Amino acid sequence: MRVVSTESRPMPTIYKYLPKVHAESLVQRGEIQLGTLHKFRDEEQYRAGILDKEEGRKYRYDAPPVSRGSDLSEFAKGTLQGMFQRDISGAIFAQCVFEEVEESPNCWLYCTSTRLSGTLLADFECDACVEVSNGRMFYRAVFGGLGADLVSRMDVVECVYDERWRHYLNPTTIPAAALKDPVHAHQREVRGIFTPRRQPIGIIQRTIPEVRQYCRLLETIPDDDAH
C-alpha cells in the first residue's frame, strides 16, 4: 500500500465531510461509522459524488486485432483456461479483448480528504466539516478502538487516481483498494483501510472517545480550496 504518513514525514491536515448531526457526534463523543469497500458500488445507496461501481477492482487486458490461438500471448491464453474443450491453436480470434480482473477483498474504510472546499461539501451533500489536526494519531486511535479481535491490519493511504484498465505489459502496481477513477481526483481522498478478521462484513458504528482530541468542527468552509 502507498502509505501517506511515516514517522519522518507528517501527515497533512485532513477533513471529514458529514451531515452536521454526525459531525457533532464525532467531535463531542467520538462516534464514527465505517463503510465497506464493496458497498461503494451500490447505486441504490450512493450518489454520483461517492458511487464508484468499480471500487476495489483493477484490470489487465490484451487486445490483438487478429490472432491465431497459437500466437496469442501467454496472458491471453491464461484468460481462456477452462473455456474450450478442444484445441484452439488453429482458431482465429478477431477483435477480442482478453481480460483479467483483480479484486480486493472487502474491508472497512474511513475516508477523509486533504482538501478543504465548499465544492466538496456540495459534492457529498453534507453541511459540516470536521478538521482532523493529527491524522496519524487519529487513525491509530480508530484502529485501537476497533480492537484486534475485529481487525488485523490498518493501512492509511492516499488514493491514486488512475485508469483501472491497463495493458498486461503495462500493469499498475497500485493496490486495487487504493485506486480510484480519475473523475474523483478533485476529492484528494485519504482512506484508512481496515482488514477484517472475518468475512462477510457490513457497515459498522463505534464510539471511540480517543479521536475527539484531534477533531474540530469548522465554523466556516471556503467556497474554493484553502490549500
46/125 same-domain check: yes
Same domain, yes or no: 82 and 183: no
State how many domains the chain has. Answer: 2
pLDDT band of residue 43 (cuts 50, 70, 90) is low
Three cell numbers, residue 61: 487486458
Q: What is the residue whose three cell numbers read 484490470?
A: 59
Residue 49 has pLDDT above 80, yes or no: no
Give the type of residue at 60.
R
Strands 204-207, 31-36: pairing is antiparallel
Whether 226 is in a domain gets the answer no
For range 82-94, the mean pLDDT:
92
Q: Is 75 in the same domain as 115?
A: no
Strand 14-18 versus strand 151-158 pairing type: unpaired
Per-residue pLDDT, 51:
73
42, pLDDT greater than 90: no
Q: Are 48 and 122 in contact (CB under 8 A)?
A: no
Higher local confidence (pLDDT), 221 or 201: 201
Using the structure block, give the residue that is written with the C-alpha cell 488485523: 152
Rounded average pLDDT over 191-213: 97
Average pLDDT score, the chain: 91
CA distance 202 to 108: 8
Q: Which of 101, 135, 165 delimits the end of a domain?
A: 101
Say if residue 51 is in the same domain as residue 63: no
Domain hosting 67: range is 58-101
> What pTM does this model have?
0.89
